C-alpha cells in the first residue's frame, strides 16, 4: 500500500512532538528526584556532623577503695649461707650456679673414711663396755647363763659384726646397722635377767654412748644436704678442695614467695590491717601489677623517720621478683562498701560546682552532683546521678546542655 505524501508528513510531525514532550517532562522529574535525594543525604550528613563524638561509662554500685602509697623493698626470709661443719676434702660437688634443688638433696660430700672409722670404733667400744659390764654382773649376782642364752648372744653378736662390716662398705643403711646393734644390746640385757642396775646403765648415757653419738654426728656432717627447696648461688668452693669447719661453701635461697617491706607513716598506720590486699609495681615490669597481702604490721615506730614497717606476702611462682628489687606499693587502707561510683574523668567543674554529663537519648544533659569520698579512679556520687545511668568520660569539656552526641567505642 502506498501512503499519500501528506499523511507521511503528518505522522513524522507527531513523532517529533512526542520525543520533545518526553525529554522535557520525564527528564525534568528524574533530575528533581535526584536533587531531592542529594538534599536529604546532605541534611543527614549535617545532622551527623552536628553530633559530637563522646566516650561513656556507667554509674554503678561498688566498693570504693582508698589506698596508701609507699616505697618498699623485696626480701626473702629463706636465705642461708651453707658452711662446712667439719673439715675435709670435697669428694663430690653437686652444685651449679642458679641450680634449683629439692629439700634433702645431697649437694656436697666430703671424704668420710676418717669419720667413719671413728664412729665404728666408738660403737665397738660401747658394746665392749656394756658386754664386759653385763658379764661381770651376771657372774657376780646370778647363776651362769644357760647354753640357750649363750647361743642367743652369740647369734646377735654375729649379726652385729656382719652388719657393721656391710655398713662400713656402704651396703646397708645406718638405720639397719643401728637395728642390729640394738638387737645385740637387747640380747646382752636379757641374758643378765634385766637387772635394775643394767637397765639404769642403758638408760643413762655413759661416756662411751656419748662418744658414739658425737662420732655419728660428725660422720653425718660429711654429707651436706639442702635445708629446703631453693636456688643455689654464690658458690665459693671447688671439687677436691680442702675445707675447714665454719668455711662458707655456697648460699641457698627460696623465692617462691617474696616479702615486700613497706614503710607507712605513723599517721596512717591506724588504717592498716593484716589481710588487706596490696598492689605492687616493680621497675623491671612496668606494665605488670603484682598482688600481695598484708602479713604483719610492726609494733614499733622508727624514731628517725616516724614510719612503721609493714610486711607484705607475695606469691612469686615464676620467680620474677628478685630480693633487693624496689617496689611501689599501694595498700588498701580503707574499703567503703556499696557506694554509687562514677569515673574521675566524668567529673567537671562549672561555675565552681562539680557536675557531670548524663546521656538521655542522643542528648547530653548537664547535671550538678554532690560527691562524697573519692580515690584516684572513682568518685562517690551522693546526688545528681542514678545507678545505671550513662555518663560521659571523654569529649565533654566543651559540651553544652542538650548538645547532640554520638557514642564512640
Using one digit for the tens of pLDDT, what is the confidence trace for 355-392?
999 999 889 999 999 999 998 899 999 999 999 999 99
Phi, psi of 276 (to 5 degrees): -70, 150
CA separation for the pair 166, 124 (Å, rounded)? 15
User: Which whole number is the average pLDDT over 138-155?
Assistant: 61
* Percent of the chain whose predicted confidence (pLDDT) is above 90: 52
Which residues make Cβ contacts (< 8 Å) with residue 22, sequence separation at least 6?
Answer: none
Q: How far is CA 180 from CA 41, 132, 156, 160, in A?
A: 105, 19, 8, 5
- Which residues touch 108 (CB under 8 Å, ≥6 apart)? 82, 84, 90, 92, 93, 94, 95, 223, 224, 237, 249
- Per-residue confidence band for 158, with pLDDT thresholds at 50, 70 and 90: confident
pLDDT score recorded for residue 311: 95
Residues 208 and 347 in one domain: no
Quick check: 259 pLDDT over 60?
yes
CATH of the domain at 350: 2.40.420.20
The length of the chain, given as a count of residues: 409
Residues 204 and 261 in one domain: no
Boundary (domain end) residue, out of 278, 303, 337:
337
In this structure, what CATH number is given to the domain that contains residue 102?
Answer: 2.40.50.100
Q: Give the residue from 291, 308, 337 where a domain finishes.
A: 337
Q: Quick one: 198 and 240 in the same domain?
A: no
Q: Give yes or no: residues 242 and 370 share one domain.
A: no
Whole-structure pTM over 0.85, yes or no?
Answer: no
Q: Which residue has better confidence, 241 or 7?
A: 241
Q: Do residues 174 and 116 lie in contact, with contact meaning Cβ atoms separated by under 8 Å?
A: no
| 44 and 58 fall within a common domain | no
Question: Dihedral of CA 333/338/339/345: which sign?
Answer: positive
Task: Residue 107: count other Cβ atoms within 10 Å of its Cβ.
Answer: 22
pLDDT for 144 equals: 42
Confidence (pLDDT) at 151 = 75
Tell me what the mean pLDDT of segment 250-263 comes to. Answer: 95
Backbone φ and ψ for 219, nearest 5 degrees, come out as -65, -45
Place of cell 610486711: 311
The answer on 57 and 40 residing in a single domain is no
Q: Band of the pLDDT at 165, cuts 50, 70, 90? A: confident
- Alpha-carbon Rg for the chain, nearest whole angstrom, is 47
DSSP string covering 357-376: EEEETTEEEEEE-EEEEE-S
Whether pLDDT at 136 is above 70: no
Q: What is the pLDDT of residue 205?
A: 46
**Residues of the domain holding 37:** 1-49
* Confidence (pLDDT) at 11: 60
Higher-pLDDT residue of 365 and 207 is 365
Same structural domain, 117 and 213: yes
Task: Give the residue among 179, 203, 201 at the shortest CA–CA distance from 133.
Answer: 201
**What pLDDT does 14 receive?**
61
What does the pLDDT average to over 399-404? 91
pLDDT at 147: 62
Ranges of H-type helices in 204-273: 207-220
What is d(CA 185, CA 273) in angstroms, rounded to the nearest whole number? Answer: 59
Q: What is the DSSP letter of 68?
A: E
pLDDT tens track for 32-78 = 454 544 444 444 444 444 789 999 999 999 999 888 889 999 999 89
User: What is the pLDDT at residue 38?
Assistant: 47
Tell me: do 237 and 265 sit in the same domain.
no
Identify the CATH number of the domain in which residue 328 sits: 2.40.30.170
| pLDDT score of 260 | 96
275 shares a domain with 319: yes
DSSP 306: T
Predicted local distance difference test score (pLDDT) of residue 263: 92
Output the pLDDT for position 46.
45
Which region, left, alpha or beta, applies to residue 35 given φ > 0 means left and ψ of -120 to 50 means alpha?
alpha
Query: Does the pLDDT of residue 193 top 60, yes or no?
Result: no
- Whether residue 194 is predicted with pLDDT greater than 90 in this model: the reply is no
Number of structural domains the chain divides into: 5
Instruction: Give the whole-angstrom CA distance, residue 150 versus residue 138.
Output: 12
Same domain for 193 and 263?
no
Q: Are residues 291 and 382 in the same domain?
A: no
Q: Percent of the chain scored above 70 by pLDDT? A: 78
Residue 321: pLDDT over 70: yes
85, 399 Cβ separation under 8 angstroms: no
Q: Is 90 exceeded by the pLDDT of residue 101?
A: yes
145 and 15: one domain? Answer: no
Phi-psi region of 10 (alpha: psi -120 to 50; beta: other; left: phi over 0): alpha
Q: In this predicted structure, what is the pLDDT of residue 210?
A: 81
Pairing of strands 403-407, 52-58: parallel
pLDDT band at residue 351 under the 50/70/90 scheme: confident
State the CB neighbour count (10 A cutoff) for residue 381.
26
Q: Does position 150 have pLDDT exceeding 50, yes or no? A: yes
| Of 111 and 41, the one with more pLDDT | 111
Average pLDDT, the chain: 83
Cell representation of residue 290: 603484682
Report CA 239 to chain centroid distance, whole Å.
36
How far, CA to CA in Å, does 11 sit from each of 7, 14, 21, 25? 6, 5, 16, 21
Amino acid at each position: 500500500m502506498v501512503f499519500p505524501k501528506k499523511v507521511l508528513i503528518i505522522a513524522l510531525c507527531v513523532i517529533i512532538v512526542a520525543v520533545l514532550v518526553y525529554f522535557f517532562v520525564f527528564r525534568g522529574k528524574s533530575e528533581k528526584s535526584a536533587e531531592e535525594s542529594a538534599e536529604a543525604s546532605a541534611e543527614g550528613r549535617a545532622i551527623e556532623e552536628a553530633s559530637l563524638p563522646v566516650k561513656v561509662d556507667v554509674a554503678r554500685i561498688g566498693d570504693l577503695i582508698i589506698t596508701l602509697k609507699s616505697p618498699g623493698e623485696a626480701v626473702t626470709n629463706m636465705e642461708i649461707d651453707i658452711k662446712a661443719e667439719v673439715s675435709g676434702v670435697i669428694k663430690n660437688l653437686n652444685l651449679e650456679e642458679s641450680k634449683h634443688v629439692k629439700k634433702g638433696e645431697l649437694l656436697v660430700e666430703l671424704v668420710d673414711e676418717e669419720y667413719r672409722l671413728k664412729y665404728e670404733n666408738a660403737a665397738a667400744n660401747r658394746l665392749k663396755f656394756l658386754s664386759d659390764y653385763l658379764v661381770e654382773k651376771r657372774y657376780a649376782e646370778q647363776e651362769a647363763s644357760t647354753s640357750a642364752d649363750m647361743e642367743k648372744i652369740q647369734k646377735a653378736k654375729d649379726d652385729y659384726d656382719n652388719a657393721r662390716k656391710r655398713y662400713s662398705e656402704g651396703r646397708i643403711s645406718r638405720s639397719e646397722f643401728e637395728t642390729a646393734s640394738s638387737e645385740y644390746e637387747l640380747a646382752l640385757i636379757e641374758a643378765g635377767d634385766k637387772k635394775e642396775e643394767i637397765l639404769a646403765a642403758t638408760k643413762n648415757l655413759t661416756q662411751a654412748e656419748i662418744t658414739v653419738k658425737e662420732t655419728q654426728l660428725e660422720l653425718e656432717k660429711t654429707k651436706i644436704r639442702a635445708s629446703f627447696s631453693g636456688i643455689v648461688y654464690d658458690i665459693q668452693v671447688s671439687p677436691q678442695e680442702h675445707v675447714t669447719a665454719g668455711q662458707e661453701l655456697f648460699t641457698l635461697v627460696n623465692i617462691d614467695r617474696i616479702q615486700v617491706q613497706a614503710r607507712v607513716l605513723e599517721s596512717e598506720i591506724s588504717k592498716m590491717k593484716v589481710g588487706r590486699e596490696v598492689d605492687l609495681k616493680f621497675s623491671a615490669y612496668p606494665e605488670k601489677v603484682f598482688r600481695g597481702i598484708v602479713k604483719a604490721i610492726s609494733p614499733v615506730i622508727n624514731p628517725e623517720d616516724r614510719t612503721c614497717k609493714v610486711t607484705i606476702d607475695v606469691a612469686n611462682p615464676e620467680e620474677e621478683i628478685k630480693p633487693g628489687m624496689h617496689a611501689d606499693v599501694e595498700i588498701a587502707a580503707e574499703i567503703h562498701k556499696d557506694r554509687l561510683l562514677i569515673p574521675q574523668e566524668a567529673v567537671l567543674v562549672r561555675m565552681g560546682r562539680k557536675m557531670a554529663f548524663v546521656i538521655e537519648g542522643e542528648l547530653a544533659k548537664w547535671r550538678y552532683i554532690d560527691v562524697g569520698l573519692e580515690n584516684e579512679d572513682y568518685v562517690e556520687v551522693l546526688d545528681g546521678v542514678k545507678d545505671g545511668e550513662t555518663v560521659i568520660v571523654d569529649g565533654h569539656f566543651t559540651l553544652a546542655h542538650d548538645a547532640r552526641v554520638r557514642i564512640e567505642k
